[in-house]
Amino acid sequence: MTQTISVGLLGLGTVGSGVVHIIEEHQDKLKHQVGCDVKVKKVLVNNPEKKRDIPLDGVTMTTDANDVLNDPELDIIIEVIGGVETARDYIVQALKNKKHVVTANKDLMAVYGSELLETASQNRCDLFYEASVAGGIPILRSLVEGLSSDRITKMMGILNGTTNYILTKMTQEGADYEEVLKEAQSLGYAEADPTADVEGIDAARKIAILGTLGFSMHIELEDVAIEGISSVSREDLEYSKQLGYTMKLIGIASRTVNKVEVSVQPALFPDNHPLSAVNEEFNAVYVYGEAVGETMFYGPGAGKLPTATAVVSDLVEVVKNIRLGVNGNSAVIPQYKKNLKTDDEIEAKYFLRIKAEDQSGTFSALTSLFAKYEVSLEKILQEPSEEKGFADIVMTTHTVSKRNYQMILEQLQGLDVVSEIKSSYRVEGDE
């Protein structure tokens, strides 16, 4: 029986350092769980001479990936270098060398996940990626194992800590978007180039992964309709609050029979909805199952140790499989062919804010247009506009198809009484 499992690590940045720290600090617990020692033996780094604040006794550092990938003594490779193409090449090489792989790379798994899982299966290897979605929240394992007997109908997630931090500050402090973004960058919550976060791309990669697992259907990044938060205004949040809503950037994956919708957009939730209470940089995923009903998974979505904890949890599963001789059986080929909903089949409620002439006949023109598409209004709020003779009108609709709602927006722009469509957001959790 194997007495020591040897690990090769690709990358020793924030997450990689956390992985080494947890493996060393929790060695007794790991040995109790898996029945043998687990040791990091070799690490790929850019600068072997750099001073580091983690224990690296007995660890060989190299600048050549082949030293790690082709080492016959290494059982498991952990990839935490990030990026897509290079990481893909390294993982394929590791799997073909019969090495099991753990990765935290959401970008990679969103683009090449199905291909890599097939390569892992062909080589009787494990490929686990729990840390790729929601950091330290064990949502992927929950879908694959804990909820495997249920039929998932919908998943909604706050999947990006940067945008949640920004929206929290804007809501609670009445600050403008640009002001809070600069603060988030100074605190390290947002990158110098925040595009992937604030435009919803990061969340889209994660919801594509969740959709693939939750619906057993190969969902690709290009299948996700994406809208970010860069156009959200302080006024939008103030009006939302008056109507009893809180805004979050949400990834949504929903299924009706075997047709799915996958999207990322700012959405409004009733103030009493659990997701409305998820603030700052925290993440949460709300899951609907036909049998279990509603469940929510909450916790830190990023950070050195939360993410590293998810990586090491995957490592433990791989080691257990090695000890049992059952590696290579974890990848499940999607059961269903991808079948996306059309705009006619996507239904939701909406928040709409317009600038309109403050005169008689305005509401009649508006309600006539909504009645034309058989859409009723749930809430209406009118406030004087800063410009004399105009008013800000805020409405929330009852459920309407996406196509009909888009037609309403197009025709609103042509109404003489409407000066401008200020904003429009989806409303969720209001059933």
Separation between Cα atoms, residue 148 and residue 140, nearest integer Å: 11
Is the model's pLDDT at 55 over the cut of 90? no
Separation between Cα atoms, residue 148 and residue 291, nearest integer Å: 11
Closest by CA position to 210, among listed 168, 255, 177: 255
| 3-class state of residue 51 by DSSP | coil
Mean pLDDT of the chain: 93
> What pLDDT, on a 0 to 100 scale, did the predictor assign at position 340?
97
Six-digit token string for 33: 């769980």
DSSP per position, 108-134: HHHHHHHHHHHHHHHTT--EE-GGGSS
Mean predicted confidence (pLDDT) in 306-331: 90
Indicate if 206 belongs to the active site: yes
Is residue 5 within 8 A of residue 36, CB to CB? The reply is yes
Q: How far is CA 161 from the centre of its chain?
A: 9
Separation between Cα atoms, residue 405 and residue 347, nearest integer Å: 9
Which residues lie below 8 Å from residue 189, measured CB to CB, with a gap of 6+? 161, 162, 165, 281
Closest by CA position to 220, among listed 371, 364, 113, 105: 113
Closest by CA position to 214, among listed 277, 261, 280, 182: 261
> What pLDDT, on a 0 to 100 scale, did the predictor assign at position 336?
87
Lowest mean pLDDT among 257-266, 304-313, 326-335: 326-335
**Strand pairing of 259-270 and 225-226?**
parallel
Domain ranges of the chain: 4-134+304-324, 139-300, 347-427
Q: How far is CA 63 from the centre of its chain?
A: 32
| Residue 8 vs residue 331, higher pLDDT | 8
Mean predicted confidence (pLDDT) in 267-294: 95
Six-digit token string for 412: 């609103």
Is the model's pLDDT at 134 over the cut of 60? yes
Six-digit token string for 274: 């659990």
Separation between Cα atoms, residue 176 and residue 45, nearest integer Å: 40
Separation between Cα atoms, residue 424 and residue 409, nearest integer Å: 9
Catalytic one of 99, 106, 169, 206: 206
| 3-class state of residue 324 by DSSP | helix
Is residue 279 within 8 A of residue 238, CB to CB? The reply is no
Q: What is the pTM of this model?
A: 0.91
Pick the CATH number of 4-134+304-324 from 2.60.120.260, 3.40.50.670, 3.40.50.720, 1.25.10.10: 3.40.50.720
Separation between Cα atoms, residue 425 and residue 274, nearest integer Å: 19
Closest by CA position to 316, among listed 126, 56, 132: 126
> What pLDDT, on a 0 to 100 scale, did the predictor assign at position 1?
47
Closest by CA position to 104, among listed 74, 70, 68, 129: 129
Separation between Cα atoms, residue 31 and residue 28, nearest integer Å: 5
Fold assignment, 347-427:
Alpha-Beta Plaits (3.30.70)
Q: How many CB atoms lie within 10 A of CB 195?
A: 12
Is the model's pLDDT at 352 over the cut of 50? yes
> What pLDDT, on a 0 to 100 scale, did the predictor assign at position 245?
97
- Name the residue with tokens 């042509």: 414
Amino acid making up residue 343 = D
Distances (CA, A) of 37 to 101, 308, 316, 399: 18, 18, 11, 56
pLDDT in tens, 59-84: 999 999 999 999 999 999 999 999 99
pLDDT in tens, 169-212: 999 999 999 999 999 899 888 888 999 999 999 999 999 999 99
Q: What angle in degrees, to the nearest 10, is found between the helix axes of 304-324 and 27-34?
A: 30
Q: What is the CATH number of domain 139-300?
A: 3.30.360.10
Query: Quick one: three-class SS letters along 146-181?
Result: HCCCCCEEEEEEECCHHHHHHHHHHHHHCCCHHHHH
Separation between Cα atoms, residue 136 and residue 283, nearest integer Å: 9
Give 143: exposed, middle or buried? Use CB within 10 Å, 0-12, 13-18, 19+: buried
Farthest CA pair distance, the chain: 85
